[in-house]
Chain A
Amino acid sequence: MESRTKDLLDQHMRENYRKTSRLFSILLGAQWVFGILLAVVISPRSWAGLASATHVHIYAAVFLGGAITSLPLFLTLTRPESQATRLVVGVAQMLWSALLIHLTGGRIETHFHVFGSLAFLAFYRDWKVLAVATVVVASDHLLRGIFWPESVYGIADPAWWRFLEHAAWVVFEDVVLVFACFRGIEEMRSIARQRAELEKTFAELERTHQIVTRTEKLAAVGQLAASVGHELRNPLTAIRNAHAYISKRVMKSDAASDARTVQFLGLQEREIHACNRIISDLLDFARERPLDLRPCPVRPLIEEAFSIVTGRDGVSLINEVPVDLPVPALDKGQFRQVLVNLIQNSVEAMPAGRAGTVRVTAAMDAGRWRIGVADDGAGIDPELHAKIFEPLFTTKSKGTGLGLAVVATMLKRHGCSITLQSEVGRGTRFEIELPAQTPSAAAA
């Protein structure tokens, strides 16, 4: 937030430098032309004592003016945002004031060019530019006042403190302008802050909107999946029945000697079973089953879950739940499903061919149960931590991506939370936290 404000302010400042430099590039060019015209039209008359076809002032306007203009003009066009450019422009404007004052024979009205220039320079909102300009103009008045007073005051013997009087007016304007610079920056900063806040709010809104859209989409998909799942169950049951009948008859006939027939019958059964599981996962996820909360000892429940999980060679399942753990009230069927999915996930987190351990622990902590399922498998990339409980997210080539989503929704119904700690290459630990239960609901 703070850094975004700073970025935005920085961006505005640079934009302002660029625009102001562009204006100055025009002004500098126009000043040069104006200076030459002034020399041509006015100077010979003002300095009529030495009449000549091409007065020295015309050369001064062309060449001196060119010398003053060329560097800042170059810089405003090539490096409009740089501070050096601003400072050079500040110096050049003051030198132009000096030249114009000289060309008009020290006319007091021409001194207004100094004030106009300072006001213009204040567009940069940089007090240093004003400071440098002030030093330049004060030095110019002091030095020329001493060595060539006609050039700056139009008279030959001004009082020695005349330059101080001019400088005082300049400082007076500076005070106003510096104040304006700071106020301008403050305004820019507050605009930047508001904009940063607006951006943040907008981003949050966008995120919320995405979540809402996603949730709605998921709900719709879930409903569709549930109704499709339900509708598939009847035909699947018929297929299963027919398959069971045919298998029995075939196995008693001559066809049982054909290896392929036997193999395909087994294949059919496995695939029917796989279809059934996918449908069950979908329905587990989409269906709001009411909870049947009953006292349910955790340790034996873990044993049950172990017996359901499809194990793998070399992966040992260890139940470390204490025998005397107080008994929570749970929906046994749903909570077992949660454990089965988590343990199955842990078993599959073991890299192929490597031995490993899945450890289930449980403890009471301030009236709450903490049940941990930990493995020493491949671990989960930190970037995926937020995603793994999302439905349809899977890293497996074969999987519905519903296992952990089912875990999340079922635990939510139980009022439980689940967290995970994982380190790539070291393993993953899921922890379920079951809230404290009133004595009437719990058994202990």
Chain B
Amino acid sequence: MARILLVDDEQSLRVTLAANLELEGMEVVEAESGERALELLRTTPFDLILSDIRMNGMSGAELFERAKELRPEIPVVLMTAFALEDVVRGALRNGVFAVLPKPFDVEHMSRTVRRALKRPAVLVVDDQEEQARATADALRKIGLRVEAISDGAAALRLMEDRAIDICIVDLVMPGMSGAEVVERLRKSRADITAIVVSDYAVPELMQRAAANGAFACLRKPIAADELAQVVAEARGRAAMR
């Protein structure tokens, strides 16, 4: 059974959220502060940390940084009711799994939690192997699980049996283009979110990728932390209202 560390200084929010997660069959350990959460992290194994950002004392963002040092393998999902743009952006760029804006839909929250529990990887697809590897290394350094591959068709095969939830694909590739990868992915694995990147202005391919549900289009060169931010945004994407 997955064990979740739930951190929030607002009791009403914490107990109601815990009840819902328990209803989903998870084991929840509650902490009313970041400090208390760190104590628990030292003594108890957890599969996921779910924390509010704004708390008295240690903030959720701070807790995330400390937990990253202490238990880098545990995914962290943050929640926020406040527009703390800089804090949120900092966390997203630093490898947080997702940030959920409150008030969230309970279904959406538990879906994100379940997704994080699988500790899914990001797949980087680029025909230039060098570049694919460099991107993967940079993202790994931030704390993401990443795999890299240089061929579209091979990427599709790989995604069939690996725990991958995000596919970062180059639009312009020999053989199968990025747009085609996105199109096929939509049919076979709709649960995988595509992010397309490109060196060139290719409106037709971008258009095709976006029409097939690509989460974002990015122009190279892209800083690794910005890419990490987009990945986390895709993972925390709220159900459309």
A: which residues have CB within 8 A of B? Answer: 226, 230, 233-238, 240-242, 244-245, 248-249, 272-273, 276-277, 280, 283, 287, 289-290, 294-297, 299-301, 303-304, 307-308, 323-327, 332, 439-440, 442-444
- Does B43 belong to the interface (CB within 8 Å)? no
Contact indicator per residue, chain B 212-234, by CB within 8 Å of chain A (1) or not (0): 00001111000000000000000
Q: What distance in Å separates the Cβ of B38 from its nearest Cβ neighbour in chain A?
A: 23
- Does B13 belong to the interface (CB within 8 Å)? yes
Known: A226-B83, A294-B217. 18 other contacts (CB 8 A): A233-B103, A235-B12, A236-B102, A237-B102, A241-B20, A245-B16, A245-B23, A245-B106, A248-B23, A280-B241, A294-B219, A295-B206, A299-B207, A299-B211, A308-B240, A324-B207, A443-B202, A443-B206
Q: Which residues of B lie under 8 Å from residue A280 when comparing CB positions? A: 241
| A443 & B201 in contact (Cβ 8 Å cutoff) | yes
Contact indicator per residue, chain B 70-112, by CB within 8 Å of chain A (1) or not (0): 0000000000011101000000000000000011111100000
CA distance A300 to B82 in the complex (A): 30
| B207 & A327 in contact (Cβ 8 Å cutoff) | yes
CA distance A285 to B89 in the complex (A): 21
| B211 & A294 in contact (Cβ 8 Å cutoff) | no
Q: Which residues of B lie under 8 Å from residue A332 when comparing CB positions? A: 216
| A297 & B217 in contact (Cβ 8 Å cutoff) | yes
Contact indicator per residue, chain B 9-27, by CB within 8 Å of chain A (1) or not (0): 0101100110110010000
Q: Which residues of A lie under 8 Å from residue B81 when comparing CB positions? A: 230, 233-234, 237
Q: Which residues of A lie under 8 Å from residue B12 when comparing CB positions? A: 235, 238
Q: Which residues of A lie under 8 Å from residue B20 when comparing CB positions? A: 241, 244-245
Q: Which residues of B lie under 8 Å from residue A297 when comparing CB positions? A: 203, 206-207, 210-211, 217
Q: Which residues of B lie under 8 Å from residue A233 when comparing CB positions? A: 81-82, 102-103
CA distance A280 to B210 in the complex (A): 26
Q: Which of B105, B107, B217, B240 contacts A295 (CB 8 A)?
A: B217
Q: Which residues of B lie under 8 Å from residue A308 when comparing CB positions? A: 240-241
| B85 & A289 in contact (Cβ 8 Å cutoff) | yes
| B103 & A301 in contact (Cβ 8 Å cutoff) | no
Q: Which of B10, B19, B198 contacts A234 (CB 8 A)?
A: B10
| B16 & A242 in contact (Cβ 8 Å cutoff) | yes
- A249 (CB) vs chain B CBs: closest residue: B23
Q: Which of A234, A237, A323, A443 contacts B219 (CB 8 A)?
A: A443
Q: Which residues of A lie under 8 Å from residue B204 when comparing CB positions? A: 323-324
Residue of A248, A300, A303, A323 with highest tally of chain B CB at under 10 A: A300
| B217 & A443 in contact (Cβ 8 Å cutoff) | yes
Contact (A300, B218) CB under 8 Å given A238-B13, A241-B106, A248-B23: no
Q: Can you give 10 A-B contacts (C-beta < 8 A)?
A: A237-B102, A238-B10, A241-B20, A245-B106, A297-B211, A308-B240, A327-B203, A443-B198, A443-B217, A444-B203
| A230 & B23 in contact (Cβ 8 Å cutoff) | no
Q: Which residues of B lie under 8 Å from residue A226 when comparing CB positions? A: 83
Contact indicator per residue, chain B 134-153, by CB within 8 Å of chain A (1) or not (0): 00000000000000000000
Size class of the contact patch on chain B: 20 to 34
Q: Which residues of B lie under 8 Å from residue A249 when comparing CB positions? A: 23
CA distance A304 to B203 in the complex (A): 18
Q: Which residues of B lie under 8 Å from residue A237 when comparing CB positions? A: 13, 81, 102-104
Q: Which of A234, A244, A327 contacts B106 (CB 8 A)?
A: A244
B: which residues have CB within 8 A of A? Answer: 10, 12-13, 16-17, 19-20, 23, 81-83, 85, 102-107, 198, 201-204, 206-207, 210-211, 216-219, 240-241
Contact (A238, B16) CB under 8 Å given A230-B81, A283-B83, A289-B83: yes
| A234 & B102 in contact (Cβ 8 Å cutoff) | yes
CA distance A236 to B240 in the complex (A): 18
Q: What distance in Å separates the Cβ of A192 from its nearest Cβ neighbour in chain B?
A: 56
Q: What distance in Å separates the Cβ of A371 from its nearest Cβ neighbour in chain B?
A: 15
| A323 & B207 in contact (Cβ 8 Å cutoff) | yes
Q: Which residues of B lie under 8 Å from residue A294 when comparing CB positions? A: 216-219
Q: What distance in Å separates the Cβ of B197 from its nearest Cβ neighbour in chain A?
A: 10
Q: Which residues of A lie under 8 Å from residue B198 when comparing CB positions? A: 443
CA distance A304 to B237 in the complex (A): 14
CA distance A287 to B80 in the complex (A): 15
- A273 (CB) vs chain B CBs: closest residue: B241
CA distance A32 to B166 in the complex (A): 110
CA distance A308 to B23 in the complex (A): 29
Q: Which residues of B lie under 8 Å from residue A289 when comparing CB positions? A: 83, 85
Residue of A290, A295, A308 with highest tally of chain B CB at under 10 A: A295
CA distance A283 to B103 in the complex (A): 13
Q: What distance in Å separates the Cβ of B85 from its nearest Cβ neighbour in chain A?
A: 6
Q: What distance in Å separates the Cβ of B55 from its nearest Cβ neighbour in chain A?
A: 11
CA distance A244 to B82 in the complex (A): 22
Q: What distance in Å separates the Cβ of A279 from its nearest Cβ neighbour in chain B?
A: 8
CA distance A442 to B12 in the complex (A): 46
Q: What distance in Å separates the Cβ of B226 from its nearest Cβ neighbour in chain A?
A: 9
Residue of A245, A296, A444 with highest tally of chain B CB at under 10 A: A245
| A300 & B207 in contact (Cβ 8 Å cutoff) | yes
Q: What distance in Å separates the Cβ of A327 from its nearest Cβ neighbour in chain B?
A: 5
| A276 & B211 in contact (Cβ 8 Å cutoff) | no
- B14 (CB) vs chain A CBs: closest residue: A238
Contact (A234, B13) CB under 8 Å given A287-B83, A327-B217: yes
| A327 & B206 in contact (Cβ 8 Å cutoff) | yes
Q: What distance in Å separates the Cβ of A291 from its nearest Cβ neighbour in chain B?
A: 11
| A277 & B241 in contact (Cβ 8 Å cutoff) | yes
Q: Which residues of B lie under 8 Å from residue A327 when comparing CB positions? A: 201, 203, 206-207, 217
| A236 & B83 in contact (Cβ 8 Å cutoff) | no
CA distance A277 to B210 in the complex (A): 27
Q: Which residues of B lie under 8 Å from residue A230 when comparing CB positions? A: 81-83
CA distance A233 to B240 in the complex (A): 18
CA distance A287 to B82 in the complex (A): 10
